[in-house]
């Protein structure tokens, strides 16, 4: 009788992962016993902390048990397939093996993610900064394409986009654009986008049909509350000016645009997208807090300059995280070596396959440390 190969996981159950799962299950059983004992002060801090741990472990244990059930079902179906002589039963067993294998693989991927503690910023909204860099007008046009791509992705996931500041070129590109994106766990989906993005294509401005390489930089900053970053009003200088941009009766009539300068760090932020000076100041303060939070997160290991360089680079073509090759219809992420030959769909906001692959790689890296 033919033998079906045993199940292989994308990341094997090594001893370290098996130990983590076993420890988690033992701890979960211990908490369940404590909660059932009736010997706890239900108004005390110890009870609240225990419930937090219980709620954190619940999804992991449920997933682990579902995974082991699927593996057992697959093993039983495999034994039936190898021992049965009736072809009809063998066919049903083979279908069951395939079904349980797919189920177990999906649960395994979920299990690995649940094993890794979540990023503390994963639930936060973000401020997305996009800058056209090397390549002149073509770089600005590419920055506009990236903004459109991220906007379409955000819309597809039910996220909300609000412009903070934009510096548009005559051909419709963006020298720079800042946008706040809000929704459930926005940062967890966008955090891998920080870095230099490189495009290879024939620009609209090219009359000879030659392929040009240009770059744009993307920075993803988590939005933080006042209590997380306290800004001394005396450290901020506010300037106002008339909004600039294309068209509209309101443009250039009132000084609604706001520029904030944080004296201790020299950070300058601007907002001119709202008609109200108050609203523009509020958005500018959000951007300033996000930038100061970014500095705070790295201050023990890096200087501000190194943090900016490590995240978005200088805009040079060689400092890239991803290449968009239009002649070949290919998008390549250089951090994980993944190429997708679906550039049209990708530029229309279909990013999930790439983002999910980056999430799996980060999870695997964390599990191996």
- Report d(CA 233, CA 262) in Å as an integer: 9
What are 297-348's pLDDT values in tens digits? 766 444 434 434 444 344 444 468 999 999 999 999 999 999 999 999 999 9
- Residue 95 confidence class, pLDDT cut points 50, 70, 90: very high
Taken in order 226, 232, 237, 240, is the CA torsion positive or negative?
positive
Rounded CA separation 254/178 (Å)? 22
C-alpha distances (whole Å) from 326 to each of 20, 211, 341 are 44, 9, 10
Domain definitions of the chain by residue range? 15-115, 121-369
Task: Report how far residue 65's alpha carbon sits from residue 21's, in angstroms, rounded to the nearest whole number.
Answer: 10
Residue 204 CB contacts under 8 Å (≥ 6 apart), including other chains: 138, 141, 171
CB 257 within 8 A of CB 280: yes
pLDDT tier at 8, thresholds 50, 70, 90: very low
Q: Is the dihedral of CA 220, 226, 229, 231 positive or negative?
A: positive
Report the distance separating Cα 199 and Cα 213, nearest Å: 6
Model confidence at 11, pLDDT cuts 50, 70, 90, reads very low
Q: What is the pLDDT of residue 244?
A: 59
The mean pLDDT value for 254-269 works out to 82
**Residue 331 near residue 357, CB atoms below 8 Å:** no
Residue whose tokens read 């993803």: 220
Q: How far apart are CA 37 and CA 54, in angstroms?
A: 15
Q: How are beta strands 212-222 and 174-182 bridged, if at all?
A: unpaired
pLDDT in tens, 118-171: 778 888 999 999 999 988 899 999 999 999 999 999 999 999 999 988 889 888
| CB atoms near residue 12 (< 10 Å) | 8
Alpha carbon distances (Å) from 71 to 23, 76, 105, 304: 20, 9, 9, 49
pLDDT digits (tens, 9 = 90+) for 35-71: 888 887 878 888 888 898 898 899 999 999 999 999 9
At residue 57, the pLDDT reads: 92
What pLDDT shows up at residue 301?
Answer: 42
Q: What is 192-244 written as a DSSP string?
A: GG-EEEEEEE--TT-SS---EEEEEEEEEEE---TTTS---GGGEEEEEE---
Share of the chain above pLDDT 90, in %: 43
Residues 234-248, mean pLDDT to the nearest whole number:
69
Q: Which residue has the higher pLDDT, 13 or 201?
A: 201
- Indicate the pLDDT class of residue 210, thresholds 50, 70 and 90: confident
Across residues 99-113, what is the average pLDDT?
89
Domain over 121-369 is classified CATH 3.30.70.1660: yes
């Amino acid at each position: 009788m033919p033998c079906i190969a045993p199940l292989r996981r994308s990341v094997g159950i090594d001893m370290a992962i098996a130990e983590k799962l076993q420890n988690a299950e033992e701890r979960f059983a211990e908490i369940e016993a404590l909660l059932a004992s009736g010997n706890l002060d239900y108004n005390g801090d110890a009870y609240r902390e225990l419930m937090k741990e219980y709620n954190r472990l619940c999804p992991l244990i449920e997933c682990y048990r579902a995974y082991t059930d699927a593996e057992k079902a697959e093993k039983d179906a495999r034994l039936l397939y190898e021992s049965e002589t009736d072809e009809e039963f063998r066919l049903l067993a083979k279908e069951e093996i395939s079904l349980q294998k797919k189920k177990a693989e999906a649960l395994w991927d979920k299990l690995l993610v649940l094993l890794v503690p979540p990023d503390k910023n994963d639930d936060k909204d973000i401020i997305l900064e996009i800058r056209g860099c090397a390549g002149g007008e073509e770089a600005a046009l590419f920055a506009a394409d990236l903004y459109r791509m991220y906007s379409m992705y955000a819309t597809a996931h039910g996220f909300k986009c609000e412009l903070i500041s934009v510096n548009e070129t005559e051909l419709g590109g963006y020298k720079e654009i800042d946008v706040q994106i809000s929704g459930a766990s926005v940062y967890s989906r966008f955090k891998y986008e920080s870095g230099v993005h490189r495009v290879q294509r024939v620009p609209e401005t090219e009359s000879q049909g030659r392929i040009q390489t240009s770059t744009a930089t993307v920075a993803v900053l988590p939005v933080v509350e006042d209590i997380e970053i306290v800004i001394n009003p005396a450290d901020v200088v506010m300037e106002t000016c008339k909004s600039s941009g294309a068209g509209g009766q309101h443009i250039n009539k009132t000084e609604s645009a706001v520029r904030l300068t944080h004296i201790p760090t020299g950070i300058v932020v601007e907002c001119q997208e709202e008609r109200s000076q108050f609203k523009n100041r509020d958005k500018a303060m959000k951007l300033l807090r996000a930038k100061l939070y970014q500095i705070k997160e790295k201050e023990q290991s890096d200087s501000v300059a190194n943090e900016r360089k490590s995240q978005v680079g200088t805009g040079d073509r060689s400092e890239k995280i991803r290449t968009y090759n239009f002649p070949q219809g290919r998008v390549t992420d250089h951090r994980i070596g993944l190429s997708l030959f679906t550039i049209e769909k990708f530029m229309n906001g279909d990013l999930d396959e790439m983002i999910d692959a980056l999430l799996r790689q980060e999870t695997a890296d964390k599990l191996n440390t």
